[in-house]
Chains A and B, each alone.
Chain A
Amino acid sequence: MVEHTSERRRSRHPREGDDQPREMRETEGGVEVREHEAGVREVSESRGSVEHRLSAALRELEAREGREETISRRLREAFDDLERREQRRESTESRLREALESLEENNDIAETSAREEIEPGKHTIKEHPRINYIEKERLKEVFRDLRESESTDVEEISTRIEDLARDLPRNGERIRIGDLSQADISGERISNIEDLLRNQGQEVRESLRERFANEKSDDIRVGLVKEKLYIWTPDTSPNDMIYSWRTQYFYMDTQDASRITEETGRKLKLGIDENQRLTNLNDLMQQFADESNYSQICIKDTNSRLTGEALRFCRDAIGIDTRDFEGKVRRIAGANGHGGIENPKFPTGKDLEELRARLMGTVVSDCYVRPDGIVELTEKNLQRIERFKEETLRKFGDFTKEPRFSKEANYYRLKMPSPYGRALNEWSIPSGDRTILNYGLPKETENWSREATIAYLQDMISQEGHIAEGKIRWERSNVLNPGQKADGYDMQPKLTQPEIELLIDKGHHYPGDYDGEKTLRWNKIKELTHHESLKIAETAKELCNVINENRNRLMDDEEKIANRLGIHLEVNPEEVAVYRSGRISVKWEARTNDTKSMIRWALVCSPNHPEKEVALNKWLAKHDDEEVQQVINELQNEGFNVSNNWREDIR
């Protein structure tokens, strides 16, 4: 992944012990240095010559006392000459220093702009470090007030970090480094800043979050190590698996892990040897961390691990592509190292958006995302499970688990390792009982591509949908009273005792229900609002109000995204169920409300389920050609990729 040969090709600062003048000559600054180096040699040689001449003059003085005056004059001339040359030497040294500083800046620019090719093993990896070095003058300007001020507080530091973070060039750099020792700040003041960042780093981060609110990224990390200030603006896009797995642990061969951390340490100038660089990298990551429990990068004899958070920082520092980690990361797992995903893959961009949509469509329907991150799917069609494994789960890495069949329930149960759940958590799908949490779709779905929207609906309807009476329909429940689970979810009951009694009194006991369990249909509740008993009618009206005030958020959001494909739905309450645990939930139903919507669904996002796909195609095949063609024309005008030869396609 990261090859040390890159070091041999990279220009380095000659004052850091560089013994490669040939490389320096390759740069503009290098040429200047060579000239001045020559100047120094000239001064050095001339100085010896003058001394020699002085000695000769002294000997001549002794030998020729009679010619004292002449010799004195020559001595003065020699001393004058030496003085002039000393002055020239100082001037040369000064120019040399300037040249070296110029070279350093050039090298920094070269480091951030040039793509280096290194060959670790079989394939070539290109680097594009996302580092930007803050110029000395800019540091002086930003910290000018602070030099004169006596206090150092969170707001003062945040203001300066904000200024520097806003400077970040827009060509991909994510890390800024500023050497505060060049900012004309006293060592004591730098220590004060470091103390503040270490002790009140979270406050600084919060302040920065407020300052960058409503901007593309409001996550600004700051750390200070060895008088160098580091500002990191990480990528927070959900279309990045390293970000999505930032809380997980990435296991690698020690050689690969140490190459990554070592290369990062070098790029960030974090020390003079490998140990120091790793220690300082950990120190920096600790300061960047959300909480105090930062997990150290662990380089062991055989198998090493680092968190996704540390890895994405290294990725930015080295500047390699996320996909280049594939094959290097052996496994991703949670903190205890159990289970996990072997040979993980890191899809990115639109591919990842579509995969995420597909995964979400299944998970929010028939899965339980456990608090430990493991995700459990229940599904009765084995072919559907195989499709899900092949088309979705294996896109994130090896998936070898097999579903277990439950005879009593007549369902298969498939467990997905915790990294799936942790990624879903990052994508705003929380762990826990979704009927109690009643969450909606993540905000990002508002900006999903058409392909991602289609992928979501295809997989959601595969799990939840029914094709019936020329309609596609699905049901979702949300809890009104949590019953025994109230404590775990901090949810207050929504229904009062009279409303519960009404449900039990008027509800129906269905086959399979436990004793005391009742279900009351929505139509019946509506009827009860006109009951001759005023008390029953009033209670039923209150019940209706509570139900309407507690709509199913997931279903409402699904209606919105379906609308974006021109599919129109009706969403209504279906029934309220009372369970023996005291749990009371309302079930909602969404269904297509016109034939055109149904045709659109069949043509654009046919279920990713072997049986439901066939059922929908059969319905479409029986349909009138002219009406289908009319919808096809509309879809084509809207830019959908739909073939006129639809009968052939669905066969």
Chain B
Amino acid sequence: MKRNNKSDGTEEEIHQMDRRKERIHQHVILIADLSALIVKELKAVSDGMSIADIMGRFAQYSAGQIEDALESAIEDEYIEVEIRESGVRWYHPVWSDEPE
């Protein structure tokens, strides 16, 4: 494919860039939606969940996706993580003082 006199490369390279961008966009949506599911699940249990519990509950997702989703939920102040004496990461929802 011929290279054009432009900053963005060949036509095919542009299509490749856009396909990649589309994938990233879908990944962002997947992580955000998974994060919402995990928060919902954590709110439904009284004592929080360990990372292993969460992995087990969302077995259809990869470990990387779950880690990303947990990190996102912590950043959004929906959940918090506690490192127990055993070294196990334990996740709890952050409850609001406000009437929701």
Contacts and interface: CB of A to CB of B under 8 A. Distances in A.
Interface of A: 249, 295, 305, 335-339, 366, 368, 370-372, 374, 376, 378, 409, 411, 413, 415, 433, 466-469, 473, 475, 477, 510-512, 519, 574-575, 577, 579, 585, 587, 611-612, 614-615, 619
Interface of B: 4-9, 11, 14-29, 32, 36, 75-78, 94, 96-100
Contacts, number: 91
Given A376-B28, A575-B15, A615 B6 contact: yes
A487 to B, nearest CB: 12
Given A336-B96, A467-B7, 7 more contacts: A335-B100, A337-B96, A337-B97, A368-B32, A374-B32, A415-B76, A615-B6
What is the interface of chain B mostly: helix, strand, loop, or mixed? helix
A295 B99 contact: yes
Given A409-B24, A512-B19, A612 B100 contact: no
A466 B14 contact: yes
A368 B96 contact: no
Contacts of B20: 512
A587 B6 contact: no
Given A336-B98, A337-B98, A338-B94, A371 B36 contact: yes
A511 B4 CA distance: 22
B73 to A, nearest CB: 11
Contacts of A511: 16
A466 B19 contact: no
Contacts of A366: 21, 25
Contact of B22 (A249, A338, A371, A477): A477
Contacts of B24: 378, 409, 411
24 contacts: A335-B98, A335-B100, A337-B98, A338-B76, A338-B77, A368-B28, A370-B36, A374-B32, A378-B24, A378-B28, A409-B27, A413-B28, A415-B75, A466-B17, A468-B6, A468-B14, A473-B14, A510-B16, A519-B19, A579-B26, A611-B7, A615-B6, A615-B7, A619-B6
A155 to B, nearest CB: 36
Contact of B36 (A295, A372, A615): A372
A411 B26 CA distance: 14
Please give me the 8 A-B residue pairs with the lowest Cβ-Cβ distance, nearest first.
A336-B96, A615-B7, A337-B98, A468-B6, A466-B8, A338-B77, A335-B100, A469-B4
Contacts of A374: 32, 76
Contacts of A295: 99
Contacts of A475: 15, 18
Residue among A376, A577, A619 facing the most chain B CB atoms (10 A cut-off): A376
Nearest to B96: A336
Contacts of A336: 96, 98, 100
Contacts of A376: 28, 32
Nearest to B7: A615
Contacts of A415: 75-76
A477 B22 CA distance: 8
A374 B77 CA distance: 12
Nearest to B71: A404
Contact of A433 (B16, B18, B29): B29
B54 to A, nearest CB: 19
A368 B72 CA distance: 14
Given A336-B100, A339-B76, A371-B36, A467 B29 contact: no
A411 B100 CA distance: 34
A32 B94 CA distance: 65
Nearest to B94: A338
Contacts of A433: 29
